[in-house]
Structure 1
Amino acid sequence: MVIKAIVADDQAILRTAFSNLLNTQDDIEVVGEAEDGAQAVQLATRYRPDVALLDIRMPHKNGIEAAREIVSASKGATKALMLTTFSLDEYVYAALEAGASGFLLKDATFPELLQAVRVVAAGEALLAPSVTKRLIAEFGRRGARPQAGVHEVEGLTGREVDVLVLIGQGLSNADIAARLCISDHTVKTHINRLFAKMGLTGRAQAVILAYELGLVVAGAARTDSPQPARGGG
């Protein structure tokens, strides 16, 4: 399957460089370039790409606003990958709340760029260590909520909460399946139902929700991490 992507950055040199590098791959095709957020939204509507690489700071409509519109309009089908620098980490929380699936630093290497696009296209979240630290600090600044019991989230089944906890801990679908002794297909089913019930558009938003509900606590390991349920999924 070929991953369709758009690249939005008001710096023409960077925009062209990212596009040219991605187009060297057989499994990635850049279907459009935008110099601002408004153009990015138009391109996403026209081409329905799998991934939208969006610079955070752009004229007319910034990357966060563009990400929110693109992810919402596509119902999560288009994943937003934010282009950022260390100095812009203060926007991390807002971008994740807008539905961004991850962050790519502008000084990333070619292999890191390719990995980021493929990981996000596959529906996983991608957060650099520096970004994760900023996110955890933001949770601390806002104040931690009382920790919820593993089976005490209104509207979710116990197994869906288990899956949410493990997503919050950074586990992939394969890791979750192994931890809970269920199939990859069952994990995907639980995730789809979880996202639909909680109005989530991506894995990164699920991470935020897990922290906000107190299911995952920054800097502290859970002592009641989900265990395999008898009888499977």
Structure 2
Amino acid sequence: MTDPASGLSSPRAVLWDMDGTLVDTEPYWIDTEFEIAERHGGTWSHAHALNLVGNDLLESGRYIREHMGIEPSAEQIVEELLDGVVARVEQDVPWRPGARDMLEQLSAVGTPCALVTMSYQRFVAPILAQLPPETFRVIVTGDVVEFGKPHPEPYLTAAAALGLAPADCLAVEDSNTGAKSAESAGCLVLVVENHVPVLAGERRVFAESLAGLDLGEVWAAYHR
């Protein structure tokens, strides 16, 4: 089955979110946020933590500063967040079910992948170190874009770097923030919910897990 607009029977590339999608690192971020609150005498809640899922890090720093009621700047808060999660991920990378298998399958058939994450490069590096070289042909991190998710810039940047139209790419996301970014860029979005529910959308399809999933079938079913 082909897309009548593009003539494609499968996506030309897969653009991957990281936190909550490839790796279940959201608990690392949340634990670190509570540590920051304790360190600086602030208050925090699980509900506030979930509001940050998928967000640009600097925006998260501003949110934390305001709602935690602490003195450090947003920039300092981001660095403290990164210190905490990098230390944790260096000890253990919690891969989501089916994620590594799917990356291997895409590599085997020559489908290019891009990583599109609002995490910064120093957090991404220890995760990439556990994957074969060139798993991702393009890496877009939150510290290299002007506007983070939910703005479309991160996904537009990834597609352009691959030399592709966003409409020919499948994005994989786990949050409303990320899905809005990819959808606004023009991608079809495969949503695999994790810590937060995701709203339905015109260019969003849902799956319970990546395990055993055929992305070509997902693509074809949407364009049928």
When normalised by structure 2's length, the TM-score is 0.29
Q: TM-score, normalised by structure 1?
A: 0.28
Greater RCO structure (CA 8 Å; 6+ sep): 2
More helix by share: 1
